[in-house]
Amino acid sequence: MISDSAFRHWVPGGLGLIGAIGLSCLEPGHRSDLVDEKGSVTSRADISPSGGLRALAAGLKWIAVYQAWQNRDESGLRRELEWVVHLNPQTELFWLGGARMLGFDVAAWRRSTTPDPGTHGLINREQLDQAVQFLGRAAEFHPRRSVFLIEEAIFHLRLTGDLRSAEQALARAQVYDDAPDFVPQIRAELLVKLGEDNAALKILETELLRLGPEDPAAMNAVIRSRINELRLRESGIDPIIL
């Protein structure tokens, strides 16, 4: 079993190795001005075509991200995240995990050091914007992937309670082929909360027809029951006979 003192001795050296391996993946002559004043890796950091080394370096850099997260080192976290997604933008986990850290964890750190609760809403909004921007960059490498828009909807709901923005994010996710079946159903519930029962009803009716009565994903009884409730609330529309 490794002792605490051994751990403290080897971790700094290991992280130094991470940096060395990461930089070794860069083409010679392009190692200056790699990170701009905002903490983003600049376009001058040209990566070599060696995918194996690049993936290894990104994995090691992810450990550095985790250490920065443990230490609540916001600037270090941003810097290491930029390295990770620059070295290996193909791994969705890096984008999703990084966005969650920026959105939820950094917001929590900042709120814990800010005694005035009146500023917490502003903090949440700022971190929401940063997380969504980070996710938006993933689209370049993962086009037409609904998971990033679903994640965006979660940020809107949890950080600011913005039902409209969450519904709009899910609407964009729904048009992608890989969108889970629950997306339109959650959209419908958000629209109900927004007072748009008719729009929610149309979504559920369309979804019921799309999936068909034999598809277990349709959750036929549940959707039909909800349609029935909404029809009863809509003037002049007869309820479905279950």
Domain stops at, among 88, 113, 141: 88
In a domain, 145, yes or no: yes
Mean pLDDT of the chain: 82
In a domain, 61, yes or no: yes
What number is the average pLDDT over the span 125-142?
A: 97
Structure pTM? 0.76
Please indicate, yes or no, if residue 15 is contained in any of the structural domains.
Answer: yes
- Within a domain: 202: yes
User: What's the domain range around 196?
Assistant: 181-242
Point out the domain boundary residue: 118, 141, 156: 156
Q: Give which of 153, 155, 146, 150 is closest to 126, Cα–Cα.
A: 155
- The pLDDT-based confidence of 21 (bands split at 50, 70, 90) is very low
At residue 223 the predicted structure's pLDDT band, cuts being 50, 70 and 90, is: confident
* Distance (Å, whole) CA 127 – CA 134: 10
Looking at the fold, whether 39 and 59 belong to one and the same domain comes out as yes
In-domain check, residue 192: yes
Q: Specify whether 24 is located in the same domain as 61.
A: yes
Going by C-alpha positions, the residue among 39, 35, 94 that lies closest to residue 66 is 94
Rounded CA gap, 79 and 177, in Å?
34
- The reported pLDDT for the residue numbered 239 is 56
If you average pLDDT over residues 16-21, what whole number do you get? 42
Q: Which helix (H) or strand (E) holds 79?
A: helix 74-87
Please report the pLDDT score of residue 75 as a whole number: 97
Does 199 map to a domain? yes
- Beta bridge partner(s), residue 35: 41
- Of the pLDDT bands very low, low, confident and very high (cuts 50, 70, 90), residue 185 is very high
Boundary (domain end) residue, out of 40, 57, 88: 88
Count how many domains the chain has.
3
Angle between helices 92-100 and 74-87 (to 10 degrees): 160
* Within a domain: 2: no
Residue 76 confidence (pLDDT) above 70: yes
Residue 230 pLDDT > 80: yes
pLDDT band at 210 (very low <50, low <70, confident <90, very high): confident
**Which residues contact residue 119 at a Cβ distance below 8 angstroms, ignoring those fewer than 6 apart?**
none
Q: Encode pLDDT of 105-129 as tens digits.
A: 999 999 999 989 999 999 999 999 9
Q: Is residue 17 over pLDDT 60?
A: no
Q: How many CB atoms lie within 10 A of CB 132?
A: 21
Task: Specify whether 197 is located in the same domain as 238.
Answer: yes
Of 1-5, 151-155, 163-167, 223-227, the one with minimum mean pLDDT is: 1-5
The pair of structure tokens assigned to 92 is 């969705």
Nearest to 131 by CA among 159, 99, 157: 99
The answer to whether 110 and 125 are in contact (CB under 8 A) is no
SS3 assignment, position 35? strand
Mean of the pLDDT values across residues 203-209? 91
Question: Is pLDDT at 50 greater than 80 in this prediction?
Answer: no
